[in-house]
Amino acid sequence: MDLELKDKVAVITGGSVGIGLAVAEGLAREGVHLVLCARNEERVKARAQEIADQYGVKAVGIHADVANGDDIDRLVAAIGAEFSDGVDILINNAGTGSEETIMDASDERWQYYWDLHVMAAVRLSRGLVPLMRKRGGGAIINNASICATQPLYYEPIYNVTKAALVMFSKCLANELVGDNIRVNTINPGLVLTPDWMKTATLLTENEPITPEQYLDKIAKGNAPIGRFASPEEVAHFFVFMCSPRASYCVGSSYYVDGGWLKVIT
């Protein structure tokens, strides 16, 4: 299937590792030019160069902490300078899990995750939609989580902010549909990212099981499919949703979760 993505321009936050990097590579295979942003400047520039060399597309790596409004302003300005004719795709992917109780979490902790998961998407959409209008439309994909609907007990702030991101996506979709800009949310389940490997390694440091055995237990205990997804498996769906082939998909949330979601939605 021709996804009609060649020579489109995509911006991906958290684009140097995990799902973001897998999406970047998937889009590059389709001939999409890229702006990757991440907090680790050395890594994001290296990944962008590797993608450019491998796939023959333009790929730019920009250092930015999207939880910081000033960094987003600088990022949007840099994107406008690199791609003055506009951009077609925004993937708000940057994010991370949390661990706290509501009773003990400080206001500052709540604010950090609000800025990272919600305000980053607000600010980047506000900054880049004018560049999408230049191109006659585009797609915004927000990476939320199954936890937006089916919360995990140990990360209430993550659950709440991801749920807010889903509602933001719905509202933005209604606002931008007349500009031929489609906004949707993808809610992944268990995805084997470096964060999961780091967590598993820490939790099994003094235990009689390996990190791999711990992750296998998590997968078999939660996802009917019995395993984690690879970042690439999730990325395939992101790439399709960025494509004109998904032209009737507007304002919806899609679960890529191996059957983990326990309700109909």
Q: How far apart are CA 118 and CA 95, in angstroms?
A: 10
Whether residue 213 sits in one domain with residue 135:
no
Catalytic-residue membership of 158: yes
Whether residue 61 sits in one domain with residue 45:
yes
Query: Mean pLDDT of all residues in the chain?
Result: 97
Task: Output the pLDDT for position 195.
Answer: 87
String of DSSP letters for 158-194: HHHHHHHHHHHHHHHHHHHGGGTEEEEEEEE--B--H
Supply the range of the domain harboring residue 151: 9-191+230-256
- Kindly name the residue from 55, 113, 158, 255 that is annotated as catalytic: 158
- Kindly report the pTM of this predicted structure: 0.97
177-221: pLDDT as tens digits: 999 999 999 999 999 999 899 889 988 998 999 999 999 999 999
Check pLDDT > 90 for residue 170.
yes
Residue from 148, 37, 57, 152 nearest 99 by CA: 152
Q: Is 23 exposed, middle or buried (0-12, 13-18, 19+ CB in 10 A)?
A: buried
Check pLDDT > 90 for residue 12.
yes
Whether residue 239 sits in one domain with residue 148:
yes
Check pLDDT > 90 for residue 20.
yes
Could you tell me if residue 236 is inside a domain?
yes
85-108: pLDDT as tens digits: 999 999 999 999 999 999 999 999
Whether residue 215 sits in one domain with residue 114:
no
Whether residue 185 sits in one domain with residue 205:
no
Task: Output the pLDDT for position 54.
Answer: 98
Task: Output the pLDDT for position 152.
Answer: 92
143-161: pLDDT as tens digits: 999 999 999 999 999 999 9
Whether residue 75 sits in one domain with residue 29:
yes
Phi, then psi, of 170 in degrees rounded to 5: -65, -45
Whether residue 185 sits in one domain with residue 54:
yes
Task: Output the pLDDT for position 238.
Answer: 98
Could you tell me if residue 265 is inside a domain?
no
49-77: pLDDT as tens digits: 999 999 999 999 999 999 999 999 999 99
